[in-house]
Structure 1
Amino acid sequence: MIHYKYTFYLCTFHSFLVERADPSKVTSKTSLSSDPSTIKSNSSFSTLTLPSIKDRSEFPTPRTEGEILSSSNLKAFSFNDLKNATKNFRPDSVLGEGGFGHVYKGWIDEHTLAPSKPGSGMVVAVKKLKPEGFQGHKEWLTEVNYLGQLHHNNLVKLIGYCSDGDNRLLVYEFMPKGSLENHLFRRGADPLSWAIRLKVAIGAARGLSFLHDAENQVIYRDFKASNILLDSEFNAKLSDFGLAKAGPTGDKTHVSTQVMGTHGYAAPEYIATGRLSAKADVYSFGVVLLELLTGRWVLDKSKPGKEQNLVDWAKPHLGDKRRLYRVMDTKLGGQYPKKSAHAVANIALKCICNDAKMRPRISEVLEELEQLQDPKNNMASPQVDIRRTSDSFPKSPMRIQPSPRRSLGEASPLPAYRTAKVH
């Protein structure tokens, strides 16, 4: 099953916070993950919600639901269509579960998009909203709004939706390799090579750069390993756009909004003030780079006190070539180019800078990462002394437990589509 995230309120109030968050809007997001095996989530791996900030002058005029659905260029499925496509939502079709509800494996005709017999046609991931779920209609509509208009090789493809009576569903392309999170943290998963990790980072950066550089900027607001899905060639695609937000317009530097996201990934200035900019996504990207480098959860209470927070633990080592090996993922077996690893560590260090103004733009990050794919920069370096490396990693068994997430894919055997929030 899929890793869950638990939503809670942070009772932190500032003089400028004038409105309490509506508990009915608190949602935990899932992934379109395909792996039936369970990833254990740390109790600290939770979504966080802060009081919202009223600043309507900074919000663009929203489109109506009718306008969004009519202009989405997506297939409008009937509920019966999706019942047939998923074998009537039978338990053996479940790919994952999260705050949104269950995600099912289904089959549709490649050309007509009509439901087809199991095992024939095109495989899809069908995400079904449960009425009592944390993730609600608003997030469902946000996903349709953005993925109905945005198309890029590094964004997961939304094929269609269902808005039939009280039923709310989404139909996505199926991602055979599941989520990055599964590959990094699932027990028994084959270790990702350095080349694959770099490829995934570049693909995710391309997707994020597309959003940030769009004519109407989009801030993703939920960048994390569980929302990065992988196709059969390990090409990365961003999924789960329920938290996406229109960026600032004109001469504005940010939008003020309710704080939503996932603990450990959310930028500190956004959590403190509710002021959201594209640089918040850059911070989250830096955290994922750290996960790729270290193979560690962003928050892990099973570790000794000083090592529970990945950013705090890894940061002192990132800028020092002589100390970097201490935080590198031991599952790499020392097989990584030192020059390339040090460059990625420096990129991560810039991305997680506490001062948002000092962080690079994601397009600049992408350019630096792409340069590292040059064969001369990516040749395997002499093996690192594994004895020294493993000494710096106290061995503790991976804990596996249920967690609130959704999935729309299949890694082994299915992929993951997830999302968590910080309202």
Structure 2
Amino acid sequence: MLQVPFIKENKAVVVARLAKRNIDAAKMIDNVIALDENRKRLQAELDSTLAESNSISKEIGMLYKSGKVAEAINLKAKTGELKETSKTLTDSLNETVENLKDLLFQIPNVPHESVPDGVSEADNEEVFRKGDIPKLHKEALPHWELAKKYDIIDFELGNKITGAGFPVYKGKGARLQRALIAYFLDKNTEAGYTEYQLPLLVNEASGIGTGQLPDKEGQMYHVTEDNLYLIPTAEVPGTNIFRDIVLSETDLPVGITGYTPCFRREAGSYGAHVRGLNRLHQFDKVEIIRVEHPSKSYDALDGMVNHVKTILDALKLPYRILRLCAGDTSFAAALTYDFEVFSTAQDRWLEVSSVSNFETFQANRLKLRFKNADGKNELAHTLNGSSLALPRILASILENYQTEEGIDIPEVLQSYTGFNKI
């Protein structure tokens, strides 16, 4: 959520940057400023009314003590009027505060100045590419056919048990999945991230804190009786660890990592681009999350990007990095880099990670602050990234490492799987 002082001090910049997202925000920004001015006016009137009421109450007490009962009774009528005025002002103030908050919830984050213009993924900017695309044998198959051939993932069984988008991993497929999770966690903890095991359901406040709620309820599975949500990513419970927290400046930076299943209702279109593991309702992901000093968050973002690079380098998968255009950047992010690996069998790039800086957008919702060198509370910056999302990494390994004799296992995973070939 954008801060009102930031909006008021940088109105033209905010409107111009949001225009990069193809949003005409001028009217919304004017309404934010008007509501905030009205909030301040109502607060001043309420404070003045309460102060007058308190002053009169003290005067009434003194009149009673001095035996001036009639004068005290006359003043009590005035305090009654002031109480009614206070109630009216309080109701108006609360309504204005709620309207202001609701409006702020509708405004996305301001894109960083380096974010390219654009309306869709076609306008994203490639900033890095590495790895040779392997030449496969003429009988090479996409991963959903390999999964069936080697009996390692059963999509039909998952459909029977639950529905489309809930695969069942079997035998060496399950072992490879577990190996990837362990390898990613080990790489992250070696890089200084503290491992957490996180809840898979969160309350509404947690969803609001990271920007999934309100307005995105349709993308999350909702347990209605308890008003809880299945997490779409470990970002939600992981970042909410720091909700309503005031850190010391010396506590920064904070880095955590965690593995969770993730649940998203958004899958559902048809075609080869969503077949097999390409898009799921339930999938596994290892996340990295950072809380940073505002002056160091973009250096931290570069560090996170380089960290994900090292993992893909070790897996020896061909990959590229995209700087997302404004129209493809998520609601809460200021700047996002996407990692994509190349699927040779499908002849297309598959997204496997997003690494983002949210600046103060999430921290403002979370009330995540730190006490700076001057002893004042200041909003921290939050960042997160997939390190990594498993389905498309697994799909790419199956497809790019396939041979006529089977599927080779990347060397760095063999000590985790206990086998070197499927």
TM-score range, shorter-chain basis? under 0.3
Instruction: Give the greater-gyration-radius structure (CA).
Output: 2
Structure with greater contact order relative to length (CA < 8 Å, sep ≥ 6): 1
TM-score, with structure 2 as normaliser: 0.22
Q: Which structure has the highest helix share of the two?
A: 2
